[in-house]
């Protein structure tokens, strides 16, 4: 009987996907199709949860099939992340788009990412204090106990790694290994490796123009192919979001969410305030925040649903170049660095909030100016090397709490609401990267304002 019910649920998914396909054939805008998939996923997921519950065999079996579409789509995006980062950075050199201002671009992108992370930490601290969050009130159940036991090994690793050792991790000792995304710092390592290739190309161009021209032609061809692959995958976005958000709605622990409701609300208040800071920064640069929201919403929606900054990278880059008028080189720098440096949500808001919550347990006054300033500094510095996939916030929190000599057990106590909050954190991470790209492009004069200002176009 359960297999029949699972088959019915899968049939419903296929029917909804067919409906989205019909919308595409009728040239309904990409944004509308994305939000249709999001809305349908929430409804279907909640119905599955309501009828069967989060841990019923039918729910588990149904989601297992839905993952073919949802998880499969995220994996396809992750498949092109490293090739896209590598080819795009090298291509920026061969097309002479970065050579003039490469130092200024790097400093601006990283500076904006770290600056907004410091602001995020301050807002996270303010939200935790304002809502009176206290980690002592949290209780440890079986799931939380298992999570904390699993974190012991990671805590030991973090505590034994100094800041210089973390910086060394960025260096690509084996670029071919990093091209597989094997390490949490692989993206930055690939960017560094690609930059070396680009600089080498410039040297060859001066001494051997013929071979340099051949290399540039090969890179341009590879870039065209990779971007075509990206375009093909991005067309699947409405279907991917439908399946992903269905899983989230069907498997969420709503009882735990209610119990930890104050923490969830405080987290989203902080995340929304940081997003408003992004919009204010754009306003200060004399750019319409309304246009940013309208054009960036499909990308932010996918980041919210997938909980993967790395999986969202192709969309992050394409949105910057096609919708915001950011140059290709800057878009790739901002998107790539934004995966592992200065993630506003995962490395900024979240660790700061947890540190404030457990400070009283360590005998520290969370209102102390010295504690607050030290925490902001530690959060900002520790934001280097945070993995751009689900779970990066856990690693960031472990680093911050360990450096501040605070109890790390609180990380495991929030496991039940982690997915819900991680959705907002990931969207904010992506917004921070796109904001850094737009502001850097504007500051360096490599910005097409008419592209940013024009209305959305209908996509295939």
**The pTM of the whole model exceeds 0.75:** yes
Identify whether the C-beta of residue 435 lies closer than 8 Å to the C-beta of residue 296.
no
Longest dimension (CA), the chain: 73
Rounded mean pLDDT, 333-356: 88
Q: How far apart are CA 345 and CA 357, in angstroms?
A: 17
CA distances from residue 222 to 137, 150, 215, 350 in whole angstroms, order as listed: 55, 42, 11, 39
Judge whether residue 184 has pLDDT over 80: no
**Which of the pair, 116 or 78, is modelled with greater confidence?**
116
Percentage of the chain modeled with pLDDT above 90: 38
Rounded mean pLDDT, 16-30: 90
Percentage of the chain modeled with pLDDT above 70: 88
pLDDT tens for 281-332 read 999 999 999 999 999 998 998 888 878 887 788 889 889 999 999 988 888 8
Highest mean pLDDT among 124-133, 184-193, 243-252, 398-407: 124-133
Query: Helix %, strand %, coil % for the chain, to 5?
Result: 80, 0, 20
Judge whether residue 148 has pLDDT over 50: no
Average pLDDT, the chain: 84
Rounded mean pLDDT, 419-440: 92
Judge whether residue 345 has pLDDT over 70: yes
**Which of the pair, 143 or 295, is modelled with greater confidence?**
295
- Least confident range from 106-115, 238-247, 396-405: namely 396-405
**Which of the pair, 262 or 416, is modelled with greater confidence?**
262
**Which of the pair, 399 or 142, is modelled with greater confidence?**
399
State phi, psi for 326 to the nearest 5 degrees: -80, 140
Coil/strand/helix, residue 341: strand
Helix (H) or strand (E) holding 194: helix 186-207
- Least confident range from 173-177, 259-263, 372-376: namely 259-263
Identify whether the C-beta of residue 277 lies closer than 8 Å to the C-beta of residue 123.
yes
Q: How far apart are CA 387 and CA 184, in angstroms?
A: 5
Identify whether the C-beta of residue 454 lies closer than 8 Å to the C-beta of residue 322.
no
Judge whether residue 147 has pLDDT over 70: no
**Which of the pair, 140 or 58, is modelled with greater confidence?**
58
Q: How far apart are CA 291 and CA 288, in angstroms?
A: 5
DSSP annotation of 326: B
Judge whether residue 97 has pLDDT over 60: no
Identify whether the C-beta of residue 120 lies closer than 8 Å to the C-beta of residue 345.
yes
Return the pLDDT at 144: 45
Return the pLDDT at 178: 84
Going by pLDDT thresholds of 50, 70 and 90, the confidence category of residue 388 is low
- Least confident range from 138-147, 323-332, 349-358, 392-401: namely 138-147
Judge whether residue 116 has pLDDT over 90: yes
Q: How far apart are CA 139 and CA 443, in angstroms?
A: 49
């Amino acid at each position: 009987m359960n297999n029949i019910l699972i088959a019915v649920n899968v049939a419903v998914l296929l029917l909804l996907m067919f409906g989205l396909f019909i919308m595409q054939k009728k040239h309904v805008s990409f944004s509308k199709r994305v939000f249709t998939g999001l809305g349908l996923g929430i409804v279907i997921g909640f119905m599955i949860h309501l009828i069967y519950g989060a841990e019923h065999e039918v729910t588990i079996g149904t989601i297992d099939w839905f993952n073919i579409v949802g998880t499969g789509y995220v994996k396809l995006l992750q498949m092109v992340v490293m090739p896209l980062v590598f080819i795009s950075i090298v291509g920026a050199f061969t097309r002479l788009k970065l050579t003039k201002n490469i130092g200024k671009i790097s400093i601006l992108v990283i500076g904006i990412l770290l600056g907004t992370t410091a602001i995020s930490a301050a807002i996270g601290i303010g939200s935790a204090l304002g809502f009176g969050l206290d980690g002592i009130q949290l209780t440890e159940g079986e799931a939380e106990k298992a999570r904390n036991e699993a974190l012991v090994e990671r805590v030991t690793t973090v505590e034994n790694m100094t800041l210089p050792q973390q910086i060394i991790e960025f260096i690509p000792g084996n670029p071919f290994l990093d091209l597989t995304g094997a390490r949490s710092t692989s993206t930055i390592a690939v960017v560094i490796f690609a930059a070396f290739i680009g600089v080498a190309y410039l040297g060859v161009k001066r001494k051997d123009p013929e071979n340099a021209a051949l290399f540039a032609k090969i890179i341009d061809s590879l870039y065209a192919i990779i971007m075509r692959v990206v375009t093909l995958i991005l067309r699947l976005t409405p279907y991917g979001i439908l399946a992903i958000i269905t899983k989230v709605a069907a498997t969420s622990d709503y009882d735990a969410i209610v119990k930890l409701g104050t923490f969830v609300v405080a987290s989203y208040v902080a995340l929304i305030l940081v997003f408003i800071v992004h919009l204010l920064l754009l306003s200060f640069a004399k750019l319409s925040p309304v246009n940013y929201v309208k054009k960036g919403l499909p990308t932010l929606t996918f980041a919210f649903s997938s909980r993967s900054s790395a999986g969202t990278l192709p969309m992050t880059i394409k949105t910057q170049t096609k919708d915001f008028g950011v140059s290709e080189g800057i878009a790739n720098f901002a998107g790539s660095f934004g995966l592992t440096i200065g993630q506003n949500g995962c490395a900024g808001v979240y660790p700061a909030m947890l540190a404030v919550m457990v400070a009283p347990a360590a005998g520290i006054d969370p209102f102390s100016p010295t504690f607050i300033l030290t925490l902001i500094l530690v959060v900002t510095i520790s934001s280097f090397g945070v993995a751009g996939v689900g779970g990066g916030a856990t690693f960031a929190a472990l680093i911050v709490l360990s450096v501040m000599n605070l109890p790390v057990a609180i990380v495991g106590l929030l496991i039940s609401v982690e997915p819900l909050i991680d959705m907002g954190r990931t969207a904010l991470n992506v917004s921070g990267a796109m904001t850094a790209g737009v502001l850097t492009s504007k500051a360096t004069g490599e910005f097409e304002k008419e592209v940013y200002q024009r209305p959305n176009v209908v996509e295939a």
